[in-house]
Amino acid sequence: MTDSEKKMLRQFISQRQEFVYRRLKENTRYQEVCERQRKTDAAVDEVLQKLEKDDRITVRRHYEGETEKTGVELNEAYIQGLRDSVKILALLGAFGAEPDL
């Protein structure tokens, strides 16, 4: 994949992510999950405050890393889904040509 293709793919994914964020604002289940997280946030902060500063930093870095890892995994799953969709459409003849498998 060329740099230009990668850039276009990143832009496309970014646009799709914005679309998803708009949909999430209307998703009641997602809103409920967010509300639960807000409620437990204070309790977690209280527990963390009982730890030494270095331990707090370690715990926060761990969970930030988990969040980042999940984001990377979701992006890869999304890209693979796009690839699979294009292959299926090609197999169905939607593009008027046979796919390179």
- Amino acid letter for position 75: N
pLDDT at 100: 63
Residues of the chain above pLDDT 90, percent = 55
pLDDT tens-digit readout, 57-79: 999 999 999 999 999 999 899 88
Write down the pLDDT at residue 29. Answer: 95
Instruction: With respect to residue 59, please indicate whether it lies within any of the assigned structural domains.
Output: yes
In a domain, 101, yes or no: no
The reply to whether 40 falls in a domain is yes
Burial class (CB in 10 A: 0-12, 13-18, 19+), 36: exposed
Residue 38 lies in a domain: yes
Across the range 43-48, mean pLDDT stands at: 92
Residue 97 lies in a domain: no
pTM (global) more than 0.85: no
Q: How many domains does one find in the chain?
A: 1
pLDDT surpassing 90 at residue 6: no
Residues of the chain with pLDDT > 70, as a percent, come to: 95
Lookup: tokens for 52? 């030494």
- Write out the residue range of the structural domain in which residue 69 sits: 3-91
- In three-state secondary structure terms, 92 is coil
Domain-located, residue 82:
yes
Q: What is the DSSP letter of 96?
A: S
Tell me what pLDDT residue 67 has. 94
Residue 43: HSE in the Cβ half-sphere, 13 Å Cα cutoff: 5
Q: Decide if 98 is inside a domain.
A: no
